[in-house]
């Protein structure tokens, strides 16, 4: 989270690499890669007819890359690494996207209410969020994940919990800006309810900003998931996720480096594409009213 | 005015610190298992567990324990480890130089590389160099620290046998030994930092190049390289200072992973071990220590920033 | 405990682990190193160990690592060598009288602690009273509970009265109760003694990084001159087997106390390293909670055993290095080994399927320790083998303390476990299967088993005891509280330049005579 927080609030120009003429490839290349990757993870297992991700075959442990029937080799239990990477990708994407969605929903709402209402409520909400923000996200995620125990749902909750404050901040600062605008004042005068104002006027105006930010955060959430798995607090085995697979592979680095490297490559490509796409979108709108 | 800001920021930090310590305390006490089991091991009788609990004061109500901890903590006494009975401050004191050294070396190396690459890109103005650096930056930001660390171990330690894969030799014991053990962890932690710094520095420098003073300087016939090195770089460095400050949280998270991966006796490893062994006082101490450090560093960075760059003084951020 | 399901030993475990391992001991501290070359002075030895110690007080030794570290700080009154033979250390003689109800310790003359306090009969009495005083909560208490009194019967003679005859008392004095602390230091430090230990062993405590490393420096006043040869010894905590091995290969440590068998071949073929087989009298197994559904049904437990193919797991995950074919708590390394056990559910997929059919399906949760990649692989392999018989197992991962709690409270269904084992067969069964024992995690409640356990303890001849153990094994096979996977073999790997580390029956790492070439 922290990195994104760092970037948030800086002037947009700082983040722009390349001139406007580069915008198109900056969107299309990562976008295409991401769509291909998502397609491969969610549809690939059926299309390619790979073995199940948890199918153990103790007869073929640690098969290297390019082996017949196992394009990316196998792990210590003879499970197909391509299959596990594709299914693991599903987990990683699901965890990344749902934790961001939950965090965005809760944080966005809190931020809008806080920014729109102002006064003591704003102060209280922001102080509480400060408590969560004042903290290296991994450390509290660690405690929460330890408490909840390893499972996909709990990992999502642990990560979502700590994305709330940063979304709230983004939503709040956006809300404050629009609150100043005349049409809101006019709306308030005409007697429209607060809920109506927030959802009809504020939300559409900060929507783009929240979504862009969310896109960037999915990558971060996926890294946090991988980090939790790496520390033994991820999903429940034998379910695969890229992070959990890398963590498993760490124990076999010398005998079967492919166990860590194959999912590592998937994770790396996915997050790079997500970051490039998010940044591309942000650059594209940087001239407009979004930033 | 600056003193007033400092005082206000510190006042704001107090409820934050209280909240953070309370949250940790409650969460940790909710975790299954306790430190007595870590000490006694399996098969301990309920009586034995009770004795250890009593020795550690774990039989008292939760809020009494928190209040006791808090009254001691505000006097600077973070208590003793429930597990080893060593004082928490001495444990943190032992671990902090390791973490600090790794973070500092990572940060310095990242800055050196970031400035070099960004300068190169701005001076050369070649689209292919730009694209390459852009990709490099995205890659650096996108690589989870442990992934890069695993790659380094695989290549540098396992294949080439150049550097040890794990362990720590303190600076006080041997300079070269220390250097050999700090390189891989610092590189692992530094790659992401390097990428962030380079992107921001390069972007800001390009923006500066469009500013009036650059145009004037060019009109005067100053060479581009001189403008970049002398004027633009100096102005852009201010931006970096903030980023360094805001990134402290990320660095600490990264340090936890790196310390676990390379088995370094730093704060991160101490924290993880204390969580798994339910050594609540140690976790509490680290959490509060990190939170205070976080507040102080950010405050310092903000002060430094506004002191250095008059343009920023007016435009304060929200929250 | 060496790479064990639970990293810490219980207090009872602590006692029994004393005599764990196979006795191929070559030397006590008084005996010269087995290598013919003349020992060289100097050198710093770093040892990678798998767990951290609590502190350095013998009262609070809770795992194998604390034994290893404290052995260098304190030495002990006696040592257990080859075949369980009692060897002298701080004491020169130990004699049982009055049908082993009275024991007379003869102390070496002129001993001193590292703070100058004389180690005399009074100091030994102080120590024995310290460990056996229930108020001090020694984790070793169950082994010293039997001490009724200890009195100095001369400057160097101590008479110990036991409440019951016990022929295994020498092994007690080879463990934590035999590690003598300086009475001066213990009295002045009080509760902090564990942080500032003073013993009479070959090494003194130097710098400690809590939970990470402890450096011990050679003590020039050690009684057995010219030992110790090494200038310093550093114990480094590295919980991950892979970390230890890569640290050994990159020279960060010179000795890895527990190697993953899957990686053994890599070091065995390298002349730079020496592999020592520390044997295996303990077992790796899945323990069942026999009082909780669905595994309170013996047919369910039998089905799981029939569905388990230990040999396949051993070949695939451990290069076949473990000893398989285990069907009882005793391994081929133990004199009580009964071989194949009549009635034990050896791998038979068809029988497993039939039983599962009879039960109408079977699903349960297998609990393992977090951050143990080997246990995870084993669990996933078991899961897939059981699935072939239609048994559905879910894997649950718990952190160590939570795992201990679950095990103690019987709050689990099945748990992957490793018991390092005892040299004395009793130590593998009595505390685990006696009804109501706090370590009876399977909650076996079988009067026939209890009867065998008491018979075995009362019997005096080894042949008779072996017969009782065999009958016990058969009775246990009927109860099926465990699914045996293999013997708990373990291996130490050190650089070939390290010499003079004896292989003691209790597997303590004794470094007084160790030297580096």
DSSP string computed for C307-339: H--HHHHHHHHHTT-S-----SS--TTSTT---
* Closest-approach residue (CA) in chain C for A63: C316
* Cis before C474? omega within 30: no
* pLDDT over 80 at C396, yes or no: yes
Residue C22 has pLDDT above 50, yes or no: no
Q: Are B22 and A140 in contact (CB under 8 A)?
A: no
Report for A23-37, B160-174, C52-66, C204-218: range of highest mean pLDDT: C204-218
Least confident of A14-23, A236-245, C239-248: A14-23
Q: Model-level pTM?
A: 0.82
Q: Which residues of C213-239 are buried (b: 16+ CB within 10 A; e: fewer)?
A: bbbbbbbeebbeeebbbbebbbbbbbb
What are the backbone dihedrals phi and psi of residue C112, each rounded to the nearest 5 degrees, phi first? -135, 150
CB contact under 8 A, B252 and A136: yes
C175 and C143 Cβ atoms separated by less than 8 Å: yes
Rounded average pLDDT over A60-81: 83
Structure tokens at C179: 């590690």
Average pLDDT of the residues in C6-23: 32
Pairs across B and C, CB distance < 8 A: 143
Interface probe, candidates A2, A15, A277, chain B, greatest B C-beta count within 10 A: A2
Does residue C246 sit at the A interface (CB-CB below 8 Å)? Answer: yes
- Kindly report the nearest CA distance between residue C404 and chain B, in angstroms: 5
Nearest to A58 among C266, C313, C371 (CB): C313
Kindly list the residues from chain B whose CB atom is less than 8 angstroms away from the CB atom of residue C211: 83-84, 91, 265, 269-270, 273
SS (H, E, C) chain B: CHHHHHHHHHHHHHHHHHHHHHHHHHHHHHCCCCHHHHHHCCCCCHHHHHHHHHHCCCCCCHHHHHHHHHHHHHCCCCCECCCCCCEHHHHHHHHHHHHHHHHHHHHHHHHHHHHHHHHHHHHHCCHHHHHHHHHHHHHHHHCCHHHHHHHHHHHHHHHCCCCCCCCCCCCCCCHHHHHHHHHHHHHHHHHHHHHHHHHHHHHHHHHHHCCHHHHHHHHCCCCHHHHHHHHHHHHHHHHHHHHHHHCHHHHHHHHHHHHHHHCCCCHHHHHHHHHHCCCHHHHHHHHHHHHHHHHHHHHHHHHHHHHHCHHHHHCCCCC
Residues of C in contact with A254 (CB under 8 A): 242, 245-246, 263, 266
Alpha helices in C3-53 (DSSP H): 11-16
B214, pLDDT greater than 70: yes
Evaluate if residue C2 carries a pLDDT over 50: no
Kindly report the nearest CA distance between residue B277 and chain C, in angstroms. 6
* pLDDT for residue B311: 52
Residues of chain B with C-beta less than 8 angstroms from the C-beta of C403:
33
Per-position b or e across B215-234, b if 16+ CB within 10 A of its CB? eebeeeeeeeeebbeebbbe
Mean per-residue pLDDT, C305-316: 94
- What does the alpha-carbon distance between residue C122 and residue C158 come to, in Å, rounded to a whole number? 8
- pLDDT for C169 equals 85
Measured CA to CA, the distance from residue A42 to residue A226 in angstroms comes to 19
Q: What pairing do the DSSP bridges indicate for beta strands C86-88 and C78-80?
A: antiparallel
CB contact under 8 A, B161 and C250: yes
The radius of gyration of chain C's CA atoms, rounded to the nearest angstrom, is 23
| Integer Cα distance of B46 and B303 in angstroms | 55
Any chains having at least 3 CB pairs less than 8 A from chain A are B, C
Kindly tell me if the per-residue pLDDT of A179 is higher than 60: yes
pLDDT beyond 50 at C33: no
What is the pLDDT averaged over residues C272-292? 90
Backbone angles phi, psi at A226, to 5 degrees: -65, -40
Residues from chain B that touch A146, judged by Cβ atoms under 8 A, are 31, 275-276
The 10s digit of each residue's pLDDT in C74-84 is 999 998 776 66
Using a CB–CB cutoff of 8 Å, tell me whether C404 touches chain A: no
Contact with chain C for residue A54, Cβ under 8 A: yes
Tell me if chain B has a CB within 8 Å of the CB of A272: yes
Interface test with B, best of A230, A234, A251 (most B CBs within 10 A): A230
* Pick from B277, B255, B251, B278: nearest CA to B265: B255
Least confident of A27-41, B292-306, C3-17, C384-398: C3-17
Beta C203-209 vs C213-218: how paired, if at all?
antiparallel
Looking at this predicted complex, what is its ipTM? 0.81
Quick one: average pLDDT of C109-114? Answer: 94
> Any idea which residue has 């001691």 for tokens?
B72
Please identify among residues 42-101 of chain A the ones whose CB lies closer than 8 Å to any CB of chain B.
none
CA separation for the pair A141, A135 (Å, rounded): 10
Nearest to C212 by CA among C245, C185, C232, C238: C238
Q: What is the least distance, in Å, from the CA of C316 to any CA of chain A?
A: 6
Helix or strand run (H / E) with residue A44? helix A44-44
Rounded to a whole number of angstroms, the distance from the CA of C44 to the nearest CA of chain A is: 28
Identify the residue whose tokens are 């990683």.
Answer: A92
Task: For tokens 């052995």, name the residue.
Answer: C71
Average pLDDT of the segment spanning B27-42: 78
Q: Which residue has the higher pLDDT, C120 or B225?
A: C120
Q: How confident is the model at residue C61 (pLDDT cuts 50, 70, 90)?
A: confident
Which of B145-149, B181-185, C406-410 ranks highest by mean pLDDT? B181-185
Copy the structure tokens of residue C478: 């009927």
Does any CB of chain C come closer than 8 Å to the CB of residue B19? no
Q: How confident is the model at residue B314 (pLDDT cuts 50, 70, 90)?
A: very low
Residue A261 host element (H or E): helix A258-285
Q: Which residue of B has its CA nearest to C400?
A: B276
Which chain C positions have a beta carbon within 8 Å of B167's beta carbon?
A: 236, 247, 252-253
Whether the per-residue pLDDT at C3 is higher than 70: the answer is no
The pLDDT value given to residue A269: 93
pLDDT tens for each residue of C221-272: 999 989 999 999 999 988 878 778 878 887 889 999 888 887 888 788 889 9
Under a CB-based contact definition with an 8 Å cutoff, are residues C32 and C433 in contact?
no
- Average pLDDT over chain B reads 82
Percent of chain C with pLDDT over 70: 92
pLDDT computed for residue C16 by the predictor: 32
Residues 6+ apart with CB under 8 A from C37: C499, C517
Is the pLDDT at C502 greater than 80, yes or no?
yes
Subunits with 3+ C-beta pairs closer than 8 A to B: A, C
Q: Minimal Cα–Cα distance from A137 to chain C, Å? A: 21
Q: In the sheet where C273-277 sits, what is the strand order?
A: C203-209, C213-218, C232-237, C44-49, C255-256, C491-495, C273-277
Q: Confidence class of residue C21 from pLDDT cuts 50, 70 and 90? A: very low
**A12-21: string of b/e by CB count within 10 Å (b at 16+)?**
bebbbbbeee
Q: How confident is the model at residue A134 (pLDDT cuts 50, 70, 90)?
A: low
Per-residue pLDDT band at A164 (split at 50, 70, 90): confident
CB distance B119 to A2 below 8 Å: no
Rounded-to-integer distance, Cα B283 and Cα A133, Å: 18
3-state per-residue secondary structure call for C123-140: HHHHHHHHHHCHHHCCCC
Mean pLDDT of chain C: 86
Report which of A104, A151, A139 is spatially closest to residue A224, judged by C-alpha positions: A139
Angle separating helix axes A152-161 and A203-230, nearest 10 degrees:
130
Q: Which residues contact C88 (CB under 8 A, 6 or more apart)?
A: C28, C30, C78, C79, C108
Which domains, and CATH codes, for chain C? 283-487 (3.10.105.10)
- Give C220's pLDDT tier (boundaries 50, 70, 90): very high
Most confident by average pLDDT, A225-229, B236-240, C230-234, C239-243? C230-234
Interchain contact, A3 vs B196, CB within 8 Å: yes
């Amino acid at each position: 989270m922290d990195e994104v927080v760092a970037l948030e609030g800086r002037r947009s120009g700082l983040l722009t690499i390349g001139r406007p003429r580069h915008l198109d490839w900056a969107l299309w290349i990562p976008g295409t890669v991401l769509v291909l990757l998502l397609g491969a993870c969610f549809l690939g297992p059926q299309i390619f007819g790979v073995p199940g991700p948890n199918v153990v075959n103790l007869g073929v442990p640690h098969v290297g890359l390019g082996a017949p029937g196992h394009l990316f080799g196998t792990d210590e239990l003879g499970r197909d690494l391509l299959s596990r990477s594709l299914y693991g990708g599903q987990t990683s994407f699901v965890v990344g996207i749902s934790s961001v969605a939950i965090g965005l929903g809760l944080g966005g709402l809190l931020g809008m209410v806080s920014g729109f209402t102002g006064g003591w409520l704003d102060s209280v909400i922001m102080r509480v969020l400060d408590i969560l923000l004042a903290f290296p996200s991994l450390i509290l995620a660690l405690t929460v994940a330890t408490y909840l125990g390893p499972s996909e749902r709990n990992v999502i909750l642990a990560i979502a919990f700590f994305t709330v404050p940063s979304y709230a901040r983004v939503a709040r600062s956006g809300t404050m800006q629009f609150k100043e605008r005349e049409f809101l004042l006019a709306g308030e005068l005409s007697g429209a309810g607060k809920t109506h104002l927030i959802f009809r006027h504020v939300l559409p105006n900060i929507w783009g900003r929240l979504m862009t930010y969310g896109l960037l955060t999915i990558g971060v959430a996926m890294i946090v998931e991988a980090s939790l798995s790496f520390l033994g607090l991820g999903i429940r085995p034998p379910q695969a996720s890229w992070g959990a697979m890398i963590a498993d592979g760490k124990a076999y680095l010398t005998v079967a480096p492919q166990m860590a490297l194959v999912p590592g490559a998937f994770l790396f490509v996915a997050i790079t594409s997500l970051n490039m796409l998010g940044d591309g979108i942000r650059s594209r709108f940087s001239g407009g009213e979004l930033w | 005015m600056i003193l007033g800001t400092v005082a206000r920021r510190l006042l704001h930090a107090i409820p934050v610190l209280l909240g953070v310590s309370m949250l940790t305390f409650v969460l940790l006490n909710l975790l299954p298992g306790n430190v007595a089991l870590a000490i006694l091991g399996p098969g301990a009788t309920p009586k034995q567990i009770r004795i250890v609990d009593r020795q550690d004061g774990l039989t008292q109500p939760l809020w009494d324990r928190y209040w006791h901890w808090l009254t001691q903590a505000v006097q600077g006494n973070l208590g003793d480890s429930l597990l080893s009975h060593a004082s928490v401050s001495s444990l943190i004191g032992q671990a902090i130089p390791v973490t600090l050294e790794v973070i500092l070396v990572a940060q310095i190396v990242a800055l050196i590389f970031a400035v070099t690459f960004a300068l190169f890109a701005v001076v050369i103005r070649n689209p292919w160099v730009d694209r390459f650096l852009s990709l490099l930056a995205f890659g650096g930001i996108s690589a989870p620290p442990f992934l890069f660390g695993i790659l380094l171990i695989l290549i540098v330690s396992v294949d080439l046998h150049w550097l040890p894969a794990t362990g720590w030799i303190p600076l006080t014991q041997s300079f070269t030994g220390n250097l050999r053990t700090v390189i891989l962890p610092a590189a692992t932690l530094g790659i992401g930092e390097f990428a962030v710094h380079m992107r921001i520095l390069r972007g800001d420098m390009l923006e500066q190049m469009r500013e009036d003073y650059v145009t004037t300087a060019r009109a005067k016939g100053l060479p581009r390289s001189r403008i970049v090195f002398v004027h633009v770089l100096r102005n852009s460095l201010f931006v970096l200072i903030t980023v360094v400050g805001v990134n402290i949280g990320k660095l600490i998270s990264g340090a936890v992973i790196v310390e676990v991966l390379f088995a370094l006796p730093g704060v991160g490893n101490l924290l993880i071990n204390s969580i798994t062994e339910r050594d609540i006082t140690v976790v509490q101490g680290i959490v509060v220590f990190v939170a205070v450090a976080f507040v102080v560093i950010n405050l310092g960075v903000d002060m430094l920033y506004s002191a250095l760059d008059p343009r920023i003084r007016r435009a304060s951020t929200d929250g | 405990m060496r790479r064990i399901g639970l990293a810490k030993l219980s207090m009872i475990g602590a006692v029994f682990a004393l005599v764990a391992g196979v006795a191929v001991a070559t030397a006590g501290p008084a005996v010269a190193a087995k290598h013919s070359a003349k020992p060289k002075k100097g050198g710093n030895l770093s040892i990678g160990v798998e767990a951290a110690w609590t502190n350095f007080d013998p009262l609070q030794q809770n795992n194998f690592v604390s034994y290893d570290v404290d052995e260098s700080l304190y030495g002990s009154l006696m040592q257990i060598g080859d075949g369980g033979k009692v060897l002298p250390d701080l004491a020169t003689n130990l004699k049982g009288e009055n049908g082993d109800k009275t024991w007379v310790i003869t102390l070496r003359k002129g001993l001193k602690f590292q703070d100058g306090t004389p180690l005399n009969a009074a100091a030994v009495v102080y120590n024995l009273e310290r460990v056996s005083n229930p108020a001090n909560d020694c984790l070793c208490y169950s082994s010293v509970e039997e001490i009724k009194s200890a009195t100095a019967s001369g400057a160097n003679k101590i008479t110990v009265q036991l409440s019951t005859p016990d022929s295994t008392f020498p092994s007690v004095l080879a463990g934590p109760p035999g590690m003598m602390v300086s009475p001066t230091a213990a009295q002045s430090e009080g509760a902090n003694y564990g942080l500032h230990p003073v013993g009479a062993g070959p090494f003194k405590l130097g710098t400690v990084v809590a939970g990470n490393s402890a450096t011990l420096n050679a003590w020039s006043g050690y009684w057995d001159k010219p030992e110790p040869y090494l200038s310093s010894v550093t114990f480094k905590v590295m919980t991950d087997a892979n970390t230890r091995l890569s640290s050994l290969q990159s020279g960060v440590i010179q000795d890895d106390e527990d190697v993953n068998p899957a990686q053994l071949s890599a070091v065995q073929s390298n002349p730079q390293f020496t592999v020592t087989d520390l044997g295996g009298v303990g077992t790796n197994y899945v323990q069942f909670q026999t009082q909780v559904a669905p595994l309170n049904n013996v047919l369910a437990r039998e089905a799981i055993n029939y569905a388990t193919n230990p040999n396949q797991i051993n070949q695939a995950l451990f290069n076949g290095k473990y000893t398989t074919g285990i069907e009882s708590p005793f391994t081929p390394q133990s004199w009580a080994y009964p071989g194949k056990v009549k009635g034990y559910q050896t791998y038979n997929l068809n029988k497993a399927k039939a039983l599962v059919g009879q039960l109408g399906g079977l699903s349960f949760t297998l609990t393992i320790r977090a951050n143990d990649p080997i246990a995870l692989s084993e669990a996933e392999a078991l899961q897939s083998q059981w699935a072939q018989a239609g048994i559905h197992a879910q894997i649950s991962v718990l952190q160590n303390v939570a795992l201990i709690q679950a095990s103690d409270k019987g709050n689990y269904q099945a748990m992957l476990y490793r018991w390092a084992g005892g040299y004395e067969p009793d130590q593998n069964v009595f505390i685990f299967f006696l009804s109501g024992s706090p370590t009876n995690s399977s909650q076996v409640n079988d009067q026939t088993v209890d009867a065998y356990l008491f018979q075995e303890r009362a019997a005096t001849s080894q042949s008779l005891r072996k017969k009782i153990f065999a009958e016990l094994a058969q009775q246990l096979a009927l109860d099926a509280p465990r699914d045996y996977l293999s013997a708990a073999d373990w291996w130490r790997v050190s650089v070939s330049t390290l010499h003079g580390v004896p292989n003691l029956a209790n597997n303590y790492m004794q470094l007084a005579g160790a030297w580096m070439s």
